Every structure is written in C-alpha cells, then in structure tokens.
Amino acid sequence: MKYRTRNYYTDSQKALMWERWKEGWTLHQIGQLFDRPHTSIQNILVKTGGIRPPERCRSATALTLFEREEISLAIVAGESIRSIAARLGRAPSTIS
C-alpha cells in the first residue's frame, strides 16, 4: 500500500485559502492553486463550518514575556512572591 505524506499549510497559505473561499472559488479551484487535492483544502475549511476563524490574540490579563522574565529573575534573586506581585501590579496567585 502506498502511503501519502501529510500536507501542512502555512498561515499565509491558509489565509489565501480563506480569501479565495470568500471570493467564491470552488474547492477544486483552490486545490489547483496549491497543486493539492480538493479534500486537503476541505479539511481546513470544514473545521470551522466554512466560516473563517477569528485571529488569535493573547488575553490582556495574561502575563507578558517581559513580566515572565522579571518573575524568573526575581525568583533567582530570592525575592518573595508577594514583593514580585506588588512590583508588577499583579496578584500573588498570578505570580505563583
């Protein structure tokens, strides 16, 4: 039996798929654009019912990379969780 390799699409390729789908292109036309079968395009589009998913963005309440680095350095320096939390303006439970 011949095994097919799995096709992975980049974010830019997926964005192009969604643009073409919104313009009214068929799955076969989009598949020809990428030189892939229409079923591989269908698998991408069907996950959200043919509606383009919203772009992902991090929650405003999540720790930023800068805050995570500050926490790491402060822990290594031996600071308490409460003092780190007070300095960053966050709850101690978020720091822990």
Q: Domain ranges in the chain?
A: 1-56, 65-95
45's tokens: 């589009």
Give the Cα separation of 84 and 32 in Å (integer). 55
Neighbouring C-alpha atoms within 13 Å toward the C-beta of 72: 7
- Cβ atoms 50, 61 nearer than 8 A: no
Instruction: Look up residue 26 and give its two tokens.
Output: 């068929």
Distances in Å between the Cα of 41 and the Cα atoms of 6, 11, 49, 52 are 13, 13, 13, 13
Return the DSSP state at 4: P
Amino acid at 16: L
**pLDDT for res 87:** 94
Q: What is the pTM of this model?
A: 0.57
- Tokens read off for 41: 């395009």
Q: List, for residues 21-74, the tens digit of each pLDDT value.
A: 999 999 999 999 999 888 889 988 888 888 888 888 888 889 999 999 999 999
